Amino acid sequence: MPYLAAAVVLLGVLCLLNLLLTIGILRRMRAQAVLANPLSALGPGSSIGEFGAVTTHGEPVSHDTLTGVVGFFSADCEACHELLPRFVEHARKLGRENVLAVFGGDDEAAVRALTPVARVVVADRDGGPVARAFQNTWTPALYLVGDDHRVVATGARMEELPLPDRRDRVAGKGQR
């Protein structure tokens, strides 16, 4: 019996060591990926690149007409589908003209949910011209864009963006 207990303890220690080494390798790989491609997405203070796109309602969207919240979603992204209800809730508060949703892939239900509350651009799997302008390569991704067409904040959850609570505050008409 003592041999069995010693074997179980040894196996547990080896599994824990394996887990720690795996976490260390993943952290190092992530750090190297950031160093290899530091401009994979725009950060706060960055200017958005030039682009032109058309929404599902036929509205033109470009660098010059974009301010407010921009969300990038993908049809095959589980985290995107989890974020969608909160994004729609905030978009209702901000007003359709202050929200752009870029949806990659085919998911008509998600596009239908976004269309009443946001300007929606349906893009290829690569995100299309809007994603290229933001240098965005992953989903979900959220950006808050100021009146000067520069990124104010970024995040992957609504709580990470410093969003105003009401429409008039987005337009600069109110203060807290």
Q: What is the CATH number of the domain that holds 113?
A: 3.40.30.10
Determine phi and psi for 154, rounding to 5 degrees: -135, 160
Determine phi and psi for 81, rounding to 5 degrees: -70, -30
Percent residues over pLDDT 90 in the chain: 48
- Nearest alpha-carbon partner for 96 in 127, 122, 132, 120: 120
Q: How far is CA 73 from the centre of its chain?
A: 7
Q: Are 49 and 133 in contact (CB under 8 A)?
A: yes
CB atoms inside a 10 Å sphere around CB 114 = 26
Q: Is the pLDDT of residue 40 over 60?
A: no
Predicted TM-score (pTM) of this structure: 0.70
- Domain boundaries, position 34: 1-38
pLDDT value, residue 75: 87
pLDDT value, residue 172: 45
Same domain, 75 and 160: yes
Q: Residue 44 domain-assigned? A: no
Q: Residue 176 domain-assigned? A: no
